[in-house]
Amino acid sequence: MAIYLDFEQKIKQIQEDIISAEVRHDEHAVEILQKDLEKEVTKTYKNLSPFQELQLARHLDRPYALDYINLMMTNKYEIHGDRHFRDDAAILCYLGYIGGERVLVIGEQKGRGTKNKIKRNFGMPHPEGYRKALRAAKMAEKFNLPILMLIDTPGAYPGLGAEERNQSEAIARNLLELSMINTPTVSIVIGEGGSGGALAIGVADKLAMMRYSVFSVISPEGCAAILWNDPKKVEAATKALKVTSSDLKEFDLIDDIIEEPLIGAHRDKEGAANALKEYFLSQVTSLRALSESERMEQRYNRLTSVGAFEEDV
Amino acid sequence: MSILDLFGNANKKTSKSDASAHWVKCKSCQSLMYYKEIEKQQFVCPKCGFHMRIGVNDRINILVDKDSFVEFDAGLKPVDPLRFVDKKSYVKRVEEGIAKTGRNSSVVSGECTINGIGTQLVVFDFAFMGGSLGSVEGEKILRAVTRAMEKRQGVIIVSASGGARMQESTFSLMQMSKTSAALARLAEEGLPYISLLTDPTMGGVSASFATLGDIIIVEPGALIGFAGQRVIEQTIGSALPEGFQRAEFLLEKGSIDMVVNRSEMKNTIADLLGIFLDQEPMTATRRREDSDDSDDDHEEEYKQSKILY
């Protein structure tokens, strides 16, 4: 069953009408309704509030990392474990091919359905997840595989075991090591980019966001609780934090926005996967055109030039 | 209540306005002490060893050779890229921070000597917006690390921070990767970075440069962690064990190299820099005599530190 948000109710109605028209084999009605649908979707998505974009980024029908992996990769093998503590199912690592390109894909996986959500810890990695990702990235460097990282997490897990095993260090180590990893790297926010837990696989040559994904320093819920002292101020916090892809592009904090199919990634997973795949392959091609030192210098400048400040001389 | 209010008592005991109040009460053992006396003790309670939070000036005085500190990049000032307003505007919070501390940011950075060894020093000021990490703070760290590479020096960062500054959202988040990338280059140059963690060091600061030191030193009893204690309690639905996320806990878990008393801090750091840079530190006046470490002594120290918290 498809899930519809409150501002998608008209879209839902038209889609249901299309289905019944199809059942009646009324092709003329289907054609008209398809046009209506296009109009309605365009109208709805053109005027989304930041909070609505947040809801889309968290939409339960949105493609997760594993959906993209299944749709994009061929001859793929999942690799497991940090070699020290355990395998963290909230982070996936896959070796295989995208197009003709040998690749490593690292992705944060939220899990669909209660059982999988629990298995994946709702996409909130433990330190061993980040360490697995780094181990895989080092292997990719060794064999000169480009790395695609798919960000989709509410944040790194805040729990006892995570603290005991040094969540801070696991994230920090990835930030440091990924800045130096000598192979083309592309990170893409596919849904929710929650704080340090997202950034830990967000250090790359290129950072992009799917159109209806979000990225912020803290979850709007957390921000509302701390700064407004009122968890109900989520809408205000979402707006203030400037979490949408267009906000981040405007601030030059990301390189690109990947456009989703007209009807949204959550209604057309294949279309979304094709757009992402095309983007990734074109980025790898242009990164390969640079010399190693040019690529590393460009990455360093990209990472270290971030900031908004004034200076009195 | 904001996250800043959570730590509202920071530096209270050492701020100028309170210096005129002659008596200070130890937060741990409740002993009353004469301010001048506790100042001489580097704000460590002589009765129970509790390390009080201290401000930037006191911190610098404790760590560096007299009059050797020269500040850099003091002209960097925060802007408000998001035009962020919650219950108060970011602009207003910055103004309050400036009024409170006389500085534009939560970081003071510069060059100094420590027992004669030239060093780039970065100190966080918890009194300025909870020591939060924003664009100015990240830029100061980048520049300090860059200077260290030019001058072939080591870097010391003294952290005291609630984490990334929410009011700068993703700008502040990306200071984590900015500072970490700079430290990666410092490491490639074979230059040392010593991270000194003080009470409290949390969130985005803890999850970036603070845990990347070649050596990580923590003051006794300091609270260090990724997630805040309240958030963890809400997540797991129960109270946290005693001493959780404290310096001694981190030492036991293998997350840090050493817990060092404030009185030993300068010599310890100078000696470590000397070993890494192959430079002889100037002999300090209160130099610790080398003695063999004993398992029993360590156990004793550990027990004592546990009693404190």
SS (H, E, C) chain B: CCHHHHCCCCCCCCCHHHHCCCEEECCCCCCEEEHHHHHHCCCECCCCCCECCCCHHHHHHHHCCCCCCEEECCCEEECCCCCCECCCEHHHHHHHHHHHHCCCCCEEEEEEEECCEEEEEEEECCCCHHHCECHHHHHHHHHHHHHHHHHCCEEEEEEEECCECHHHHHHHHHHHHHHHHHHHHHHHCCCCEEEEEEEEEEHHHHCCHHHCCCEEEECCCCEEECCCHHHHHHHHCCCCCCCCCEHHHHHHHCCCCEECCHHHHHHHHHHHHHHHHCCCCCCCCCCCCCCCCCHHHHHHHHHHHHHHC
Nearest alpha-carbon partner for A15 in A263, A211, A261, A265 = A263
Whether B296 is covered by a domain: the verdict is no
Kindly state whether B76 is in contact with chain A, defined as any CB-CB distance less than 8 angstroms. yes
Considering the domain architecture, whether residues A106 and A242 belong to the same structural domain is answered as yes
Cα of A91 to nearest chain B Cα, Å? 18
Of the listed ranges A18-32, B9-23, B61-75, B264-278, the least confidently predicted one is: B9-23
Considering the domain architecture, whether residues A65 and A134 belong to the same structural domain is answered as yes
Q: Considering only residues 250 to 269 of chain B, which have any Cβ-Cβ distance to chain A shorter than 8 Å?
A: 253-255
Number of Cβ pairs closer than 8 Å across A and B? 198
Considering the domain architecture, whether residues B139 and B41 belong to the same structural domain is answered as no
**pLDDT of B284 over the 90 cut:** no
Q: Shortest CB distance from B170 goes to which of A171, A173, A215?
A: A215
Considering the domain architecture, whether residues B162 and B32 belong to the same structural domain is answered as no
Q: Considering only residues 11 to 50 of chain B, which have any Cβ-Cβ distance to chain A shorter than 8 Å?
A: none
Using one digit for the tens of pLDDT, what is the confidence trace for B286-307? 455 566 666 665 565 656 555 5
Nearest alpha-carbon partner for B176 in A223, A131, A202 = A202
Q: Above pLDDT 90, what percent of chain B?
A: 77
Whether A1 is covered by a domain: the verdict is no
Q: Which domain holds residue A18?
A: 8-47
Secondary structure (3-state) at A82: coil
**pLDDT of B153 over the 60 cut:** yes
pLDDT at B288: 55
**pLDDT of A57 over the 60 cut:** yes
Considering the domain architecture, whether residues A158 and A251 belong to the same structural domain is answered as yes
Considering the domain architecture, whether residues B128 and B182 belong to the same structural domain is answered as yes
Residue A149 belongs to what H/E stretch?
Answer: strand A147-153
pLDDT band for A313, please (50, 70, 90 cuts).
confident
pLDDT at B9: 47
Q: Where residue B205 sits, what CATH number does that domain have?
A: 3.90.226.10
Considering the domain architecture, whether residues A38 and A105 belong to the same structural domain is answered as no
pLDDT at B281: 84
Whether B92 is covered by a domain: the verdict is yes
Spatial distance between the Cα atoms of A195 and A175, rounded to a whole number of angstroms: 13
Considering the domain architecture, whether residues A80 and A17 belong to the same structural domain is answered as no
Q: Shortest CB distance from B76 goes to which of A159, A165, A309?
A: A309
For A90, A126, A194, A238, B279, the CA distances from A87, given in Å and listed in that order, are 9, 10, 21, 33, 44
pLDDT band for B13, please (50, 70, 90 cuts).
very low
Taking residue A47's Cβ as centre, other Cβ atoms within 10 Å add up to 9
Whether A311 is covered by a domain: the verdict is no
Contacts 24+ apart (CB under 8 A), B240-247: B240/A160, B242/B309, B243/B306, B243/B309, B244/A160, B244/A163, B245/A163, B246/B221, B246/B222, B246/B309, B247/B197, B247/B218, B247/B219, B247/B220, B247/B221, B247/B222, B247/B305
Considering the domain architecture, whether residues B38 and B156 belong to the same structural domain is answered as no
Considering the domain architecture, whether residues A38 and A129 belong to the same structural domain is answered as no
Taking residue B285's Cβ as centre, other Cβ atoms within 10 Å add up to 5
Whether B93 is covered by a domain: the verdict is yes
Spatial distance between the Cα atoms of A6 and A8, rounded to a whole number of angstroms: 5
Mutate to test the interface with A, among B159, B173, B202 (most CBs of A within 10 A): B173
Q: Which domain holds residue B256?
A: 53-288
Question: How many structural domains are present in chain A?
Answer: 2
Considering the domain architecture, whether residues A80 and A145 belong to the same structural domain is answered as yes
Considering the domain architecture, whether residues A38 and A179 belong to the same structural domain is answered as no
Whether A3 is covered by a domain: the verdict is no
pLDDT at B5: 42
Q: Please identify which residue in the block is written with the tokens 């970011």.
A: B90
The better pLDDT of the pair B153, A230 is held by B153
Would you state the structure tokens that stand for residue B53, as one six-digit string?
């939070």
**Contact call for B164 and A179, based on CB within 8 A:** no
pLDDT band for A145, please (50, 70, 90 cuts).
very high
Whether A61 is covered by a domain: the verdict is yes
pLDDT at A47: 87
Q: Above pLDDT 70, what percent of chain A?
A: 100
Question: How many structural domains are present in chain B?
Answer: 2
Whether B76 is covered by a domain: the verdict is yes
**pLDDT of A53 over the 50 cut:** yes
Considering the domain architecture, whether residues A62 and A43 belong to the same structural domain is answered as no
pLDDT at A114: 95
Spatial distance between the Cα atoms of B271 and B279, rounded to a whole number of angstroms: 9
Considering the domain architecture, whether residues B86 and B47 belong to the same structural domain is answered as no
Whether A140 is covered by a domain: the verdict is yes
**Contact call for A179 and B203, based on CB within 8 A:** no
Contacts of A216 in chain B (CB under 8 A): 169-170, 173
Q: Considering only residues 141 to 170 of chain B, which have any Cβ-Cβ distance to chain A shorter than 8 Å?
A: 142, 164-166, 168-170
Considering the domain architecture, whether residues B43 and B179 belong to the same structural domain is answered as no
Cα of A59 to nearest chain B Cα, Å? 22
Whether A2 is covered by a domain: the verdict is no
pLDDT at B248: 96
Would you state the structure tokens that stand for residue A85, as one six-digit string?
């503590």
Residue A11 belongs to what H/E stretch?
Answer: helix A9-23
Whether A297 is covered by a domain: the verdict is yes
**pLDDT of B157 over the 70 cut:** yes
Residue A153 belongs to what H/E stretch?
Answer: strand A147-153
Contacts of B231 in chain A (CB under 8 A): 158, 222
Whether A313 is covered by a domain: the verdict is no
Using one digit for the tens of pLDDT, what is the confidence trace for A220-230? 999 999 999 88
Considering the domain architecture, whether residues A96 and A218 belong to the same structural domain is answered as yes
Q: Where residue A248 sits, what CATH number does that domain have?
A: 3.90.226.10
Average pLDDT, chain A: 95
**pLDDT of B141 over the 50 cut:** yes
Contacts of B103 in chain A (CB under 8 A): none
Using one digit for the tens of pLDDT, what is the confidence trace for A84-139? 999 999 999 999 999 999 999 999 999 999 999 999 999 999 999 999 999 999 99
Q: Considering only residues 259 to 278 of chain A, which have any Cβ-Cβ distance to chain B shorter than 8 Å?
A: none
pLDDT at B235: 87
Q: What is the ipTM of this complex?
A: 0.95
Q: Considering only residues 194 to 253 of chain A, which have any Cβ-Cβ distance to chain B shorter than 8 Å?
A: 195-196, 199, 202-203, 215-218, 222-223, 226-229, 236-237, 240-243, 248, 251, 253
Considering the domain architecture, whether residues A168 and A277 belong to the same structural domain is answered as yes
pLDDT at B4: 43
Considering the domain architecture, whether residues B139 and B253 belong to the same structural domain is answered as yes
Considering the domain architecture, whether residues B163 and B210 belong to the same structural domain is answered as yes
Whether B14 is covered by a domain: the verdict is no
Considering the domain architecture, whether residues A132 and A22 belong to the same structural domain is answered as no
**pLDDT of A305 over the 50 cut:** yes
